[in-house]
Amino acid sequence: MDATHLEYLEARLIALELLFRGMLSGLVEDRPDPLGDVDRMEDEFRSTVGFTKFGDDDERAERIRTLVIAMVNTNFAAVRSRALRQIEIEAAGKTRN
What is the tens place of the pLDDT at every residue in 32-65?
Answer: 999 999 999 999 998 888 788 887 878 888 898 8
Smallest CA-to-CA distance from 86 within 29, 45, 47, 32 is with 29
pLDDT reported for residue 58: 87
Are the C-beta atoms of 72 and 45 separated by less than 8 Å? yes
Across the chain, which distance is largest between two alpha carbons, in Å? 60
DSSP-derived secondary structure letter, 52: -
Are the C-beta atoms of 48 and 54 separated by less than 8 Å? no
Are the C-beta atoms of 86 and 29 separated by less than 8 Å? yes
At 82, the amino acid letter reads R
- Computed over every residue of the chain, the mean pLDDT equals 90
